[in-house]
Amino acid sequence: MADFIIETPKGKWELVCGLEIHCQIVSKSKIFSGASTEFGDDANVNVSFIDAGMPGMLPVLNKECVRQAVKTGLGLNAVINKYSVFSRKNYFYADSPQGYQITQFEYPIVGEGKITVDLSDGTSKDIRIERMHIEQDAAKSIHDINPKKSYVDFNRCGVGLMEIVTKPDFRSPEEVGAFLKKLRSIVRYLGTCDGNMDEGSMRCDASISVRPLGSNELRERAEVKNVNSVKFAMQAVEYEAKRQVELYENGETLKQQTCRFNPATGETKFLRFKEFSDDYRYFPEPDLPPLVLDDAFIEEIRNNLVELPDAKKARFVKELGLTPYDASVLCENKETADFFEEAAKGRDAKKVANWIMGDFFAMLNAKKLPLEKSPISAEKLGRLVDLISKNVINGKTAKDVFAIMAETSQEPEAIVEEKGWKQVTDTSAIEAIVDEVLQSNPDNVAAYKGGKNNLLGWFVGQVMKQSKGTANPAIVNQLLKQKLG
Ligand code: MN
């Protein structure tokens, strides 16, 4: 466990934190209507009568959203509940034209699971998932167009959401960050959520409390709502935990409350007290029957699951000999892992990993390019590594070749040729000379094979002479030994 102990002159405290994450489901249409889920369209163009809450409109469950939820549940190592129920959560707000949200309450589609997070000290920790349910997203309120008015964009209204709830297992901001990154990585691998926190398709609420180190009590908590980046979530948790410690040490108490995180100041800001739990008057949604899944549906999804980051990481360590650290960096997103695998195919995986994590990542960073826009393809990077392995160029020259590739996207071989950077270690060229020398000196070949081993030096001399001194002696030696038996 990574240590995060809040120590003051008065005592030592620990963090107790749980997360709720809303992930927008990747699907063409909304969870209960046929309207498009496209992000970034003009306001209020993707709104059906169902999304607008028109009287008499009946929701129809989108099967694709169910499939995505089951896939995600399997990716969270969780129990899939074959029986789940939709409920109405009643509340009145401008972002919900129905006057209620269709969600799942007592019977969620996904039960308990876990995600393993890797921490900077080399340890791992399991974070338990309590449940995951599916529900409709609300519309988006816009407060910054007009100082006196608020606007509402209903395009988001009715988009499918997966709400993942963890147990209060987090003891450090680092664990919170590692979890969010791992969850994002899993849903992106699965293709069930695009994980873009800055676009709001993955939003995090954190329930934060503190307690004296060593105690098991659970104190009142503050909930920080709708944090939209991994970094902000870590900052919010740290700030809020320290604020609570200060409060307790000043003899005050914390009343259960809701806060907002201000990215500009790095501080949490009080919104409202939660003295009574909200009364949403949940009841089973009368317009939708219980959702019943059969084994065949679940098994078909399970059997077609992609290889997830943990499994891929384990394989890179076991089969390709990478260190766990290198493997986890390369597996963080699927595109990088695929790029690495293509570049490493049939090659020294460690060497390829070093190139990718070193010069290659640095080049993308410097150019501010995403991997898919890389001027150097996986295949060309692999061939550059080949040129080093085959002694065509040395490591130092390879860096120069790489720099040119990054600018021109040229083939590594062409660059070496054009620049005349080839070491005179072209094995096939040397081999031709070796063959010629052996063929024109059959007597000495016979003598060598008869036991005159010291003739090897003479053969080397002949080959060097023929190549006008440009052949690599080590390769000449090696080829001669091979051919003379
Ligand atoms: Mn929710």
Q: How confident is the model at residue 245 (pLDDT cuts 50, 70, 90)?
A: very high
d(CA 410, CA 280): 62
**Do 87 and 153 fall into the same domain?**
yes
Q: How confident is the model at residue 85 (pLDDT cuts 50, 70, 90)?
A: very high
Ligand 1 center–CA 135 separation, angstroms: 7
- Top-confidence residue, 16 or 118: 16
Closest residue by Cα to residue 279 from 95, 455, 70, 88: 88
Ligand 1 center–CA 22 separation, angstroms: 7
d(CA 347, CA 343): 8
d(CA 362, CA 460): 43
d(CA 110, CA 347): 42
Question: Is 405 exposed, middle or buried (CB count within 10 Å of its CB: 0-12, 13-18, 19+)?
Answer: buried
Ligand 1 center–CA 327 separation, angstroms: 34
CA distances from 410 to 337, 357, 404, 414 (A): 23, 21, 8, 7
d(CA 280, CA 100): 9
The answer to whether the CB of 99 falls within 8 A of the CB of 92 is yes
Residue 107 makes CB contacts below 8 A (sequence gap 6+) with 81, 83, 84, 85, 290
Q: Is the pLDDT of residue 2 over 60?
A: no
Q: Which of 234, 265, 300 represents a domain boundary (last residue)?
A: 300
Say which range, 34-38, 244-248, 348-352, 464-468, has the weakest mean pLDDT.
464-468
The answer to whether the CB of 117 falls within 8 A of the CB of 176 is no
Closest residue by Cα to residue 393 from 380, 379, 383, 408: 383
The answer to whether the CB of 177 falls within 8 A of the CB of 332 is no
Ligand 1 center–CA 264 separation, angstroms: 26
Largest CA distance in the chain: 103
Q: Which tokens belong to 244?
A: 């609570």
Ligand 1 center–CA 383 separation, angstroms: 49
Ligand 1 center–CA 101 separation, angstroms: 9
* Averaged confidence pLDDT in the chain: 93
> For 265-278, what is the mean pLDDT?
84
Ligand 1 center–CA 43 separation, angstroms: 23
β-strand pairing of 202-212 with 11-24: antiparallel
d(CA 376, CA 342): 13
Q: Please report the pLDDT score of residue 224 as a whole number.
A: 97
Ligand 1 center–CA 54 separation, angstroms: 22
**Do 213 and 66 fall into the same domain?**
yes
Q: How confident is the model at residue 279 (pLDDT cuts 50, 70, 90)?
A: confident
Q: Could you tell me the sign of the dihedral formed by the alpha carbons of 401, 405, 410, 412, in that order?
A: positive
d(CA 416, CA 380): 13
**Do 19 and 114 fall into the same domain?**
yes
**Do 50 and 196 fall into the same domain?**
yes
**Do 203 and 327 fall into the same domain?**
no
Q: Which of 395, 419, 443 represents a domain boundary (last residue)?
A: 419
Ligand 1 center–CA 226 separation, angstroms: 11
Say which range, 33-42, 372-381, 416-425, has the weakest mean pLDDT.
416-425
Ligand 1 center–CA 106 separation, angstroms: 13
Closest residue by Cα to residue 14 from 238, 258, 225: 238
Q: How crowded is residue 278: how many other Cβ atoms within 10 Å of its Cβ? A: 8
Ligand 1 center–CA 199 separation, angstroms: 17
**Do 346 and 453 fall into the same domain?**
no
**Do 136 and 220 fall into the same domain?**
yes
HSE-CB of 9 using CA atoms within 13 angstroms: 1
d(CA 376, CA 351): 17
> For 434-451, what is the mean pLDDT?
91
Say which range, 114-118, 411-415, 460-464, has the weakest mean pLDDT.
460-464
Q: Which of 236, 270, 300 represents a domain boundary (last residue)?
A: 300
Transcribe 164-206 into DSSP letters: EEE-S-B-SHHHHHHHHHHHHHHHHHHTS----GGGTSEEEEE
Q: How far apart are the first and last CA of the chain?
A: 59
Residue 224 makes CB contacts below 8 A (sequence gap 6+) with 205, 206, 208, 236, 237, 240, 259, 260, 261, 268
Q: Please report the pLDDT score of residue 470 as a whole number.
A: 60
Q: Is the pLDDT of residue 469 over 70?
A: no
**Do 278 and 329 fall into the same domain?**
no
Ligand 1 center–CA 157 separation, angstroms: 13
pLDDT tens by residue, 15-30:
999 999 999 999 999 9
pLDDT tens by residue, 292-315:
999 999 999 999 999 999 999 999
Q: Is the pLDDT of residue 275 over 70?
A: no
d(CA 70, CA 78): 9
Q: What is the pTM of this model?
A: 0.82
Q: Is the pLDDT of residue 58 over 80?
A: yes
At 474, which CATH number?
Answer: 1.10.10.410
Ligand 1 center–CA 36 separation, angstroms: 21
**Do 77 and 152 fall into the same domain?**
yes
> For 70-85, what is the mean pLDDT?
98
Ligand 1 center–CA 30 separation, angstroms: 16
Q: Is the pLDDT of residue 473 over 90?
A: no
The answer to whether the CB of 186 falls within 8 A of the CB of 115 is yes
Q: Please report the pLDDT score of residue 392 as a whole number.
A: 83
Q: How confident is the model at residue 485 (pLDDT cuts 50, 70, 90)?
A: confident
- Top-confidence residue, 56 or 424: 56
Ligand 1 center–CA 104 separation, angstroms: 9
Ligand 1 center–CA 163 separation, angstroms: 6
Q: How confident is the model at residue 37 (pLDDT cuts 50, 70, 90)?
A: very high
**Do 219 and 329 fall into the same domain?**
no
Ligand 1 center–CA 232 separation, angstroms: 20
**Do 186 and 292 fall into the same domain?**
yes
Q: Please report the pLDDT score of residue 468 as a whole number.
A: 59
**Do 167 and 224 fall into the same domain?**
yes
Q: Please report the pLDDT score of residue 424 as a whole number.
A: 66
Ligand 1 center–CA 145 separation, angstroms: 26
Ligand 1 center–CA 102 separation, angstroms: 10
Residue with tokens 């008499």: 56
Ligand 1 center–CA 136 separation, angstroms: 8
Ligand 1 center–CA 219 separation, angstroms: 23
Q: How confident is the model at residue 184 (pLDDT cuts 50, 70, 90)?
A: very high
If one counts the domains in the chain, the total is 3
Q: Please report the pLDDT score of residue 484 as a whole number.
A: 87
Ligand 1 center–CA 133 separation, angstroms: 8
Range of the domain at 442: 427-484
Q: Please report the pLDDT score of residue 409 as a whole number.
A: 95
Ligand 1 center–CA 49 separation, angstroms: 22
pLDDT tens by residue, 325-373:
899 999 999 999 999 999 999 999 999 999 999 999 999 999 999 999 9
Ligand 1 center–CA 69 separation, angstroms: 14
Q: Is the pLDDT of residue 414 over 80?
A: yes
Q: Please report the pLDDT score of residue 429 as a whole number.
A: 84
Q: Please report the pLDDT score of residue 212 as a whole number.
A: 96
